[in-house]
Amino acid sequence: MEIQSNILLFVISVLRRRVLLSSRPAALRLEPRGKTARPAGTVILIHGLGRTGLSMLVPGFFLSRNGYSVLVYDYISGKSSVSRHAAMLLDFIRDVRQTMPGRINFITHSLGGIVLRCAAANFAESFPDGRTVMLAPPNRGSRKASLFSKFPFLPLILKPLREIRSDEDSFAASLPAPQFEHGVIAAQFDAKVGVDEAKTDTMQDFLVVESFHTFIMNRRDVLAACAEFLRQGRFRAGAVQSPK
């Protein structure tokens, strides 16, 4: 009953903050529900552009059943720049490190991966040593973002849009290669972020699934691959690092 109450409060918080255009992020905490005697660690879930933390509830429930403490992070993605979102995420991570012992991992969707990379670039010396899975991230920018950025009204309501263009001078292109342990899952039928646009030069593993962009995080094969990477640092047992 308690978990239903927490989810209801989180839904109300998500809706209320968007009505009020609040910049302050929020998070839903899901306690581990698996058979493990001790938590497997903490996973912070970070959603993408134009979405809410509610879009990450399915992986949140999955990971909590697999013994992880889960924090479903929610922020108003269109309101601020990537740098501003990263600064708020950094504050959140610092608070988590003080209250939740053990390894801190991340699973991001789309823009969430760029926000995390920006946070890591400004927190490199003491960034959490856990593993990260990026789902359909525009690591090399997005040609669709370049196209939609040309419409004058869209960047006004989706401020990070111009920052994730595929142009060489875009913010995404200027970020240093991630130095934390991470894997990338791309969607074969993604109309927003191409398979090659999702890659980084330092990824530990790379996987392409037969999926579209928006709901890639809800697929069973993706959830299983995420859990495997968090445990072993590879998407498949015995996998060899994929070519970049």
d(CA 135, CA 126): 24
- How confident is the model over 41-61, as a mean pLDDT? 96
Domains of the chain are: 2-232 (3.40.50.1820)
| Residue 124 predicted with pLDDT over 60 | yes
| Residue 7 predicted with pLDDT over 90 | no
pTM (2 d.p.): 0.91
- Cβ–Cβ contacts within 10 Å for residue 126, how many? 9
- How confident is the model over 179-196, as a mean pLDDT? 97
- How confident is the model over 219-226, as a mean pLDDT? 97
d(CA 120, CA 143): 24
Which DSSP category does 133 fall into? E
Strands (E) in 120-194, as ranges, are: 132-135, 182-187
- How confident is the model over 199-205, as a mean pLDDT? 97
| Residue 123 predicted with pLDDT over 60 | yes
Nearest C-alpha neighbor of 204 from the set 172, 171, 236, 166? 236
| Residue 178 predicted with pLDDT over 90 | yes
* Whether the Cβ atoms of residue 196 and residue 190 lie closer than 8 Å to each other: no
- How confident is the model over 228-232, as a mean pLDDT? 96
Please name the residues in contact with 47: beta carbons below 8 A apart, sequence gap of 6 or more.
53, 55, 56, 73, 74, 75, 77, 109, 110, 112
**The pLDDT value given to residue 230:** 97
**Average pLDDT, rounded, for the chain:** 90
**The pLDDT value given to residue 85:** 96
* Phi then psi dihedrals of residue 168, to 5 deg: -65, -25
Nearest C-alpha neighbor of 109 from the set 73, 81, 144, 161? 73
